[in-house]
Amino acid sequence: MIIEMDEAYRSLVVRDVEEEWVGPLVVTRGQVYDTRHCPGLIAVEEGKLTGYLLYLPKNEEWEILVLHALEKNRGIGTALIDALSEQMKAAGGKELSVVTTNDNIPAIRFYQRRGFSLGEVGFNALEETRKIKPGVPEIGLEGIRLSHELVFFRPL
């Protein structure tokens, strides 16, 4: 079941974001966002948190800040994106965006399979991110140097 995040689950989400993303701050396209205060959707099964999506609603473009399926390959991430897309349509949103890094091959594959297309590359953007979040590593997944932001878009 996908529902709006409520305070009962927010502390679980905040703790997970801090562990998975080197603290509660997310830096995308040169902007800093505190995920502790972002709107979100959660996936819950029998009272257990199975995934979450934190987002930034902007006029016509909404941005996914964090998407995390706690249980992989069950359709949780897709269901969260679909639920957000429905909210966007109802609010007049036209395009959904998400930023990932050049090393995150699983995310790149995931978003492309769900209709997102690469629209921007922030070359060497992680140099600036590390000034804000020094804990961001130099080497990412699969031993790939963590350097660039990739911005994917999906029109609704």
pLDDT in tens, 87-123: 999 999 999 999 999 999 999 999 999 999 999 999 9
Give the Å distances, CA to CA, from 104 to 2, 39, 122.
Answer: 25, 24, 14
Neighbours of 36 (CB within 10 A): 14
Domain-by-domain residue ranges, the chain?
Answer: 2-155
How many CA atoms, within 13 angstroms, populate the side-chain half-sphere of residue 9?
21
| pLDDT per position as a tens digit, 7-46 | 889 999 999 999 988 789 999 998 999 999 999 999 999 9
| pLDDT per position as a tens digit, 55-66 | 999 889 999 999
CATH fold group of domain 2-155:
Aminopeptidase (3.40.630)
Q: What is the pTM of this model?
A: 0.94
Sign, CA dihedral 150-124-64-88, equals: negative
